[in-house]
C-alpha cells in the first residue's frame, strides 16, 4: 500500500482515538453502574449516629478520622480520664 508518512500518522492517530473513545465509553458504563449500586444500597440507609448528638475522632490522617464515634446520651455526659467517656492522649491531664 502506497501511503505517505503523513497519511500513515493520521490513520494511526484515528485508530488510537477510536480505541480511547471505546475505553472511555466502557469506563462511563462501569461508573454509571457503580453509582446506581451505591445509590441503591448506601444512600437509603442513614446510620443511627447521624441523627443523634455524638462525638467523633479527628486525626491528621484522613483515613483514621471518623472511625471512633460515641453517641451522647440525654442529660450530662462527663468526658475525661475519670468521666463516663474516657479519653487520653497528649495534652489531656484530667
Please check whether residues 40 and 77 belong to one and the same domain: no
Average pLDDT, the chain: 77
- Grid cell locating 10: 493520521
Q: Tell me: pLDDT of 38 over 90.
A: no
- Indicate if 38 and 51 belong to the same structural domain: no
pLDDT of residue 92: 65
Long-range contacts of 45-53 (CB under 8 A, 24+ apart): none
Contact present, 21 and 30 (Cβ < 8 Å):
no
pLDDT value of position 19: 93
Contact call for residues 53 and 45 (beta carbons, < 8 A): no
DSSP helix/strand/coil, 21? helix
Distance, CA of 16 to CA of 65 (rounded, Å): 43
Residue 30 has pLDDT above 80, yes or no: no
Residue 87 pLDDT greater than 80, yes or no: no
Pair (37, 61) in one structural domain: no
If asked whether residues 52 and 87 sit together in one domain, one would say yes
Same domain, 30 and 52: no
Structural domain total, the chain: 2
Are both 68 and 25 inside the same structural domain? Answer: no
- Residues of the domain holding 19: 1-45
Q: Which residues contact 80 (CB under 8 A, 6 or more apart)?
A: 86, 87, 92, 94
The whole model's pTM is what?
A: 0.38
**pLDDT tens per residue across span 51-84:** 788 888 888 888 888 777 878 888 888 777 777 7
85 shares a domain with 72 = yes
Amino acid at each position: 500500500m502506497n501511503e505517505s508518512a503523513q497519511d500513515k500518522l493520521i490513520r494511526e492517530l484515528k485508530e488510537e482515538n477510536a480505541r480511547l473513545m471505546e475505553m472511555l465509553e466502557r469506563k462511563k458504563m462501569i461508573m454509571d453502574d457503580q453509582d446506581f449500586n451505591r445509590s441503591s444500597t448506601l444512600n437509603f440507609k442513614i446510620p443511627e449516629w447521624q441523627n443523634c448528638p455524638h462525638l467523633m475522632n479527628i486525626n491528621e490522617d484522613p483515613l483514621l478520622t471518623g472511625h471512633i464515634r460515641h453517641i451522647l446520651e440525654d442529660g450530662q455526659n462527663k468526658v475525661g480520664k475519670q468521666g463516663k467517656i474516657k479519653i487520653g492522649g497528649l495534652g489531656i491531664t484530667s
